[in-house]
Chain A
Amino acid sequence: MEHGSVIKIVGIPDHVTMTWLMMAVVLVFAYVLGKNLKKFPDRIQYVFEALTSFIVYTLEDAMGKYGRKFFPLIAGLAVFILFGNLMGLIPGLTQPTANLNTTLALAIISFLVYNYEGIKKHGLVNYIKHFAGPVPWMAPIMFPIEVVSHLSRILSLSFRLFGNMFGDEMVVLVALMLVPFLVPVAGEFIVFANSFLQTFIFCILTVVYIATAIEEHEEEHA
């Protein structure tokens, strides 16, 4: 919530402060973890190895040999969104992802990446030609339709994450106001479970978009 945060810096919005705090925690954590890698992993290292291999398998499943190239992007998104969502569980902190500005930025990143990859793979002319559809005389109608449907991807990505996280916080807050004993725990559980679900959905959709942007061309020429 806007007024829920304990840490405040004058002149800087709450979600930016929270993002910085999260970045600091994640960076320090990653540094310490990276320095102390063991051959036989302990629990924490095992969790992160599982996360890493899950992302790698997902990418290879969706894109085949191109998959590993996008690991830094998808893992970065996953860690950012996951930790951003889970921050809501700590009293006194707010979720950076419960603000539309953060989620819109993430969605625009994913939008730019998949368009860039599509253009790089097929060339600018071919990629735009693909927008026009297979029938030449329908191209003037199909082109705006296709553009609108691509723009709706940005909005649906950002609004889903923002709406889910903001709504979850609201549920907890309302439960706190009505019955401030034990009932908010159910709300917190929704926040906890939904954090993972929304992270998964956001990353998978980014993967699917990149995969379709790359693949479409191959289907045409096969």
Chain B
Amino acid sequence: MGKLRDYIERTSYMMVGVQFALAIFIGLAIGYWLDKEFKTFPWLTIFWFFIGLAAGFKNVYRELKKISK
């Protein structure tokens, strides 16, 4: 049973890399969309890009904390 739990956790580590990239793209998409709505290109795109970057790092951090626990 404990072994199965390990597999479950390892599987969730497999997605960290993909999520890191996707979070940035989602941030960019939201920023781009908001910029088009408010006509403030490129400020919100840049801002949301960094939000996405931070979200990616947060995902990695969360998984790292789980590993080192």
Contacts and interface: CB of A to CB of B under 8 A. Distances in A.
A208 B15 CA distance: 12
Nearest to B15: A156
Contacts of A149: 19, 23, 55-56, 58-59
Contacts, number: 70
A146 B26 CA distance: 12
B8 A204 contact: yes
Interface string A160-202: 1000000000000000000000000000000000000000110
A145 B55 contact: yes
A145 B8 contact: no
A153 B1 CA distance: 27
B11 A160 contact: no
A116 B19 CA distance: 22
Interface residues on B, range: 20 to 34
Nearest to A203: B11
Contact of B4 (A58, A145, A208): A58
Contacts of A24: none
B46 interface: no
B22 A156 contact: yes
Interface string A29-63: 00000000000000000000000000001100110
Interface hub of A58, A152, A156, A201 (most chain B Cβ within 10 A): A152
Interface in B21-49: 22-23, 25-27, 30, 48
A206 B37 CA distance: 34
B8 A61 contact: yes
Interface of A: 57-58, 61-62, 141, 144-146, 148-149, 151-153, 155-156, 159-160, 200-201, 204-205, 207-208
10 contacts: A58-B4, A61-B5, A61-B8, A62-B8, A144-B51, A145-B54, A148-B30, A153-B19, A155-B22, A160-B18
Given A61-B1, A204-B7, A204-B8, 4 more contacts: A57-B4, A148-B55, A151-B26, A152-B26
